Amino acid sequence: MRKKLVLSIIIFTILFIIDQVLKYGFTHFNLNIDGPYMSLQLAYNYGVAFSMFSFLAEYLKYIQLSMVIAGFIYLLKNKEVFTEYYLPITLLFAGGLSNILDRFTYGGVVDYLYWHYGFEFAIFNFADIIINCAVAIIIFMQIKQWQAERKEKKNKS
């Protein structure tokens, strides 16, 4: 458990710093670049995914911070969950807390990766990629666990 916690803190710190440095660069220097498929373009998201709930912009930072704190408390009481899912949890916390810090620092989440080839897609950031990777890892782990349980049941019968 201790080894996983230390590794988790290291990964969290590295990813959090990378994301914040990228966002600082886009907010303080003109890093906008137009490309044929993807552009780098500064934008602020005052809502959540695809700007949903932007009418709650002033309160989202507190709502999201409360959710992170609740998740942290849950993990303190259920250490086995952290032990099993420490990597995706670390990714979720790094991306989530970095985006929450944006809300306190810039008033909204700093986005800059704009996909526009074939269809207009949302503008997103490195933290969003981290969060999506965490969700993919959790889904993969759940599928593997389900398959193992199914195989075990089949072997018992």
Q: Which residues are known to be catalytic?
A: 111, 128
Comparing C-alpha atoms, which of 104, 91, 123 is closest to residue 65?
104
Q: Give the sheet arrangement for strand 123-124, strand by strand.
A: 38-45, 109-115, 123-124
Contact 44, 107 (CB under 8 A): yes
Which residue in the block uniquely carries the two structure tokens 């490309």? 35
Phi and psi for 117 in degrees, rounded to 5?
Answer: -95, 125
First to last CA, the chain: 35
Q: What is the largest CA-CA distance in the chain?
A: 64
